[in-house]
Amino acid sequence: MPIPAKILVVDDQQFVRQTLRSLLLQQPHWKVYEAASGKAALDRVREIKPDVVVMDIMMPEMSGVEATYELRRLAPNTKVVLMSSYYTPKEAAHLARLFGDGNFIEKSATGQDLIPAISRILPFESQAV
């Protein structure tokens, strides 16, 4: 029996959060949560202690990079997948190595790349089916 994984999706655009939530809920053993900002993400991390956070880099108020930096302090075992449509893959990969777990996805490729990226960083018993 798979162990449920808690995934937190952080993006300031409601449509993006809902789309990613729908995509991730195709995995029956993943629980998906949302946050609309970096600050809200940190509150949710304290509350639910997610296994993985899917973090948009470009957000008002507190960027995804700033939120990820704080998240590292709060929940060092939580894995992070950064996503953006504003950075080149090379720039974003550099940010992902510095602040995330080396995981970056272009927003335009989330439909095909997000589930495999999350699955790779989860323990075997929580991976996608």
pLDDT for 100 equals 55
Position 101 scores a pLDDT of 64
pLDDT for 90: 73
H helices of 25-109, in order, are 38-48, 64-74, 89-99
Place of tokens 């950064």: 82
Could you give the CA distance from residue 71 to residue 69 in angstroms, rounded to a whole number?
Answer: 5
Global pTM? 0.90
Picking from 77, 27, 36, 26, the residue whose alpha carbon sits closest to that of residue 8 is 36
Q: What is the CATH number of the domain that holds 86?
A: 3.40.50.2300
Question: For residue 82, what pLDDT is reported?
Answer: 86
How many domains, in total, are found in the chain? 1
| Domain hosting residue 33, numbered range | 5-126
Among residues 70, 4, 85, 76, the alpha carbon closest in space to that of 35 is found at 70
| Euclidean distance between CA atoms 119 and 13, whole angstroms | 24
> CA-CA distance, 67 to 62, in Å (whole number)?
6
Note down pLDDT in tens along the chain; length 129 residues. Answer: 678 999 999 999 999 999 999 999 999 999 999 999 999 999 999 999 999 999 998 898 898 889 998 998 999 999 999 888 776 667 766 766 676 566 778 788 888 999 999 998 888 888 887
Reduced to 3 states, what is the DSSP secondary structure of residue 59?
A: coil
Residue 5 one-letter amino acid: A
Q: What is the pLDDT of residue 85?
A: 77
